[in-house]
């Protein structure tokens, strides 16, 4: 039975000596033989009884596959694939002890070219009450270390809390956001990078099999949930809006670093347009990429006219051409502007809730300095930051790799601002010259070569040089906000000398 996942081909198949489909699973003490019987009958209920709830599968050149439900999904997926080739398991040894048992053997299979191959196999089980439960399947000694989020650079420990508010009489949209904040006291009780609910929701939203990203549940963050903020001290507030289809914890590596350096970091989710909204109890409100918001926006995402104007913005060094293209792009994209306006409204509603939290919340009260607020975001969230930068609600802002949808092209920046652009190939990056016209506040344009649009998220961790790329983003964003929210003497253009792939252009200095 051939089984294909994104990263590797794997077959979970029938032990050669177990061909009788009616054989009772209780007639053997071998876990490998039990697996073979389950495979032979495609019995997911028996598989669920055999697996420990924290079971793990290790496969060469693939991510760790974690959790009973996810592994059941894996087997079901394998059963739905072509099973024309013969494969088998062989049991070589069974060792039992007080804690459980370990079985070793060989897995025989044919690759895609029909060539016979084999891998070593190790099964680890634990005893629980009167049963033995499968805890680990390890193919070809492929057990790997679990990657955790990189340590923050600041002096403080990091707390994290989640907030969700239903629609009210005065508010037509729900509010969902998470806060990362500074702590004095450390604890080993760091929360997982992603909960099972979040990991599965990501899979559902993207149309992935659940086993593609189940490993994120095993990764540790640097955050302590619902801990007490540092008392008798106020911290600057920075608010983040993710890209379209993102979610509030998509940029934790940067949020934790900002919090460790003395910031209250607030990241929003958005009704209908985020992949999910996360509630205080850990449950999620899942979204679909096929909902009415996404469907009606498809023409704007794929339109030929829009693509032409975007190409001008990405490639032209003629300021007049770029200005004209931006005005045409905004004209052709009313639904993107609608999203920017909705997210702007959500941001302002969140600030109202933050003011209540600052007065009444047991763990967080008194810690928000609303006189020192910054706004930043990625993609459509970056455009939202630009939109809010045409007001004076915030003191500084950053648009991370977002076409500046909204009304800013017809207005002016009212605060110091930075545009950050990815530059994956050649001279192709977001031009921002129109926003320097009639500007009277500090304005920067940062261009990062070898970065893609998705580099500005935690996805960066799972790419070559990922931690170095995260370090660059952390330092760039922190330095900008330190300069304008903490009045530190920071020369941002010096970062261009430190990172060879980064160019920081000061478009205007006040």
Instruction: Tell the residue number behind the tokens 């999904």, with chain if given.
Output: 73
Quick check: 14 pLDDT over 70? no
DSSP 3-state assignment of 454? helix
What are the pLDDT digits (tens) for 89-108? 889 999 998 889 999 998 88
pLDDT reported for residue 36:
80
pLDDT, one tens digit per residue, over 457-497 is 999 999 888 999 999 999 999 999 999 999 999 999 999 88
How many CA atoms within 13 Å lie on the side-chain side of 233?
14
Q: How confident is the model at residue 354 (pLDDT cuts 50, 70, 90)?
A: very high
Given this model, what pLDDT does residue 187 score? Answer: 84
Residue 117 clears pLDDT 90, i.e. is over it: no
pLDDT single digits (tens) 443-452: 999 999 999 9
What average pLDDT score do residues 45-62 get? 94
The encoded tokens of residue 156 equal 């403080």
Q: Is the dihedral of CA 89, 94, 100, 106 positive or negative?
A: negative
Specify the pLDDT at position 83: 52
Residue 70 has pLDDT above 90, yes or no: yes
- Phi and psi at 448, nearest 5°, equal -115, 110
pLDDT of residue 276: 97
**Separation between Cα atoms, residue 187 and residue 59, nearest integer Å:** 33
CB atoms within 10 A of CB 449: 16
pLDDT score at 27: 62
Tokens read off for 394: 């915030």
Assign 10 a pLDDT band (cuts: 50, 70, 90): very low
Using the predicted structure, report yes or no on whether residue 8 has a pLDDT greater than 90: no
Tokens of 138: 């390890």
With a pLDDT cut of 70, the percent of the chain lying above it is 93
Q: What is the pLDDT of residue 301?
A: 78
Better-predicted residue by pLDDT, 122 or 107:
122
Whether the Cβ atoms of residue 212 and residue 240 lie closer than 8 Å to each other: no
Mean pLDDT, residues 34-62: 90
Residue 15 has pLDDT above 50, yes or no: no
Determine the pLDDT at residue 24: 60
pLDDT at 114: 78
Instruction: Decide: pTM greater than 0.75.
Output: yes
CB 149, CB 256: distance < 8 Å: yes
What is the predicted pLDDT for the residue at 91?
92
Q: Is the pLDDT of residue 125 over 70?
A: yes
Q: Report pLDDT for 175.
A: 95
Helix (H, G, I), strand (E, B) or coil at 173: coil
Taking the C-alpha atoms of residue 203 and residue 261, their distance in angstroms, rounded to an integer, is 32
For residue 80, give the DSSP letter.
T
Report how far residue 199's alpha carbon sits from residue 214's, in angstroms, rounded to the nearest whole number. Answer: 6
Span 19-47, pLDDT tens digits: 444 456 566 678 888 888 887 788 999 99
Q: What is the side-by-side order of every strand in the sheet holding 417-423?
A: 223-225, 157-165, 175-183, 264-269, 235-241, 368-378, 396-400, 417-423, 443-449, 502-508
Q: For 155-173, what is the mean pLDDT? A: 94
The chain-wide mean pLDDT, for the chain, equals 91
Write down the pLDDT at residue 4. Answer: 40
In sign, the C-alpha dihedral spanning 332, 334, 336, 340 is positive
What pLDDT sits at residue 458? 96
59 pLDDT tier (thresholds 50, 70, 90): very high
Q: Which two structure tokens, joined as six digits, stand for 175?
A: 């509010």
Is pLDDT at 198 greater than 80 in this prediction? yes
Helices 319-332 and 334-360: crossing angle, nearest 10°?
80
Rounded mean pLDDT, 74-89: 73
Note whether 220 and 190 are within 8 A (CB): yes
Q: Which of 97 and 236 is assigned the larger pLDDT?
A: 236
Whether pLDDT at 9 is above 60: no
Cα torsion 143, 144, 145, 148 to 10°: value is -120
Q: pLDDT band for position 336 (50/70/90)?
A: very high
Mean pLDDT of 160-174: 93
The domains found in the chain, sorted by start residue, are 3-139 (3.10.450.50), 157-508 (3.40.50.1820)
Give pLDDT, residue 22: 42
What pLDDT is recorded for position 18? 40
Q: How high is the pLDDT of residue 20?
A: 44
**pLDDT class for 271, splitting at 50, 70, 90?**
very high
């Amino acid at each position: 039975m051939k089984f294909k996942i994104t990263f590797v081909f794997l077959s979970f198949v029938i032990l050669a000596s177990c061909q009788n489909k009616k054989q009772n699973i209780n007639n053997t003490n071998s876990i490998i033989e039990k697996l073979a019987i389950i495979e032979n009958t495609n019995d997911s209920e028996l598989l669920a009884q055999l697996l420990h709830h924290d079971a793990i599968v290790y496969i060469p050149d693939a991510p760790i596959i974690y959790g009973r439900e996810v592994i059941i999904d894996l087997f079901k997926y394998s059963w739905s694939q072509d099973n024309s080739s013969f494969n088998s398991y062989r049991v070589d040894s069974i060792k039992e002890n007080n804690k459980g048992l370990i079985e070793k053997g060989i897995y025989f299979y044919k690759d895609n070219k029909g060539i016979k191959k084999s891998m070593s196999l190790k099964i680890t089980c634990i005893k629980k009450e009167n049963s033995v439960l499968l805890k680990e399947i390890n193919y070809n000694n492929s057990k790997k270390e679990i990657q955790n989020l990189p340590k923050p650079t600041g002096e403080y420990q990091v707390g994290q809390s989640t907030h969700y508010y239903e629609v009210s009489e005065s508010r037509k949209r729900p509010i969902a956001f998470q806060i990362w904040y500074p702590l004095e006291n450390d604890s080993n009780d760091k929360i997982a990078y992603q909960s099972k609910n979040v990991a599965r929701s990501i899979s559902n939203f993207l149309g992935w099999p659940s086993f593609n990203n189940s490993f994120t549940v095993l990764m540790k963050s640097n955050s302590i949930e619902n801990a007490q903020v540092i008392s008798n001290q106020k911290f600057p507030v920075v608010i983040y809006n993710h890209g379209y289809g993102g979610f509030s914890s998509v940029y934790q590596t940067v949020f934790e670093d900002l919090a460790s350096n003395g910031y209250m970091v607030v990241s929003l989710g958005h009704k209908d347009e985020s992949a999910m909204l996360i509630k205080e109890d850990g449950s999620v409100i899942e979204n679909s990429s096929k909902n009415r918001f996404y469907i009606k926006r498809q023409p704007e995402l794929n339109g030929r006219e829009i693509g032409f104007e975007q190409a001008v913005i990405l490639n032209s060094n003629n300021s007049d051409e770029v200005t004209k293209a931006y005005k045409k792009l905004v004209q052709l994209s009313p639904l993107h502007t609608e999203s920017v306006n909705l997210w702007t409204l959500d941001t302002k509603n969140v600030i109202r809730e933050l003011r209540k939290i600052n007065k009444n919340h047991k763990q967080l009260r008194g810690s928000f300095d609303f006189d020192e607020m910054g706004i930043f975001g990625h993609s459509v969230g970056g455009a939202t930051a630009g939109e809010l930068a045409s007001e004076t609600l915030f003191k500084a802002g950053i648009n991370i790799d977002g076409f500046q949808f909204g009304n800013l092209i017809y207005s002016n920046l009212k605060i110091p601002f930075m545009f950050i652009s990815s530059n994956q190939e050649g001279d192709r990056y977001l031009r921002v010259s129109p926003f320097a016209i009639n500007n009277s506040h500090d304005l920067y344009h940062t261009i990062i070569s070898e970065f893609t649009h998705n580099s500005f998220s935690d996805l960066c961790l799972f790419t070559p040089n990922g931690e170095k790329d995260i370090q660059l983003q952390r330092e760039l964003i922190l330095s900008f906000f330190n300069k304008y929210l903490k009045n530190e003497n920071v020369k941002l253009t010096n970062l261009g000398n430190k990172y060879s792939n980064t160019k920081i252009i000061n478009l205007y200095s006040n």
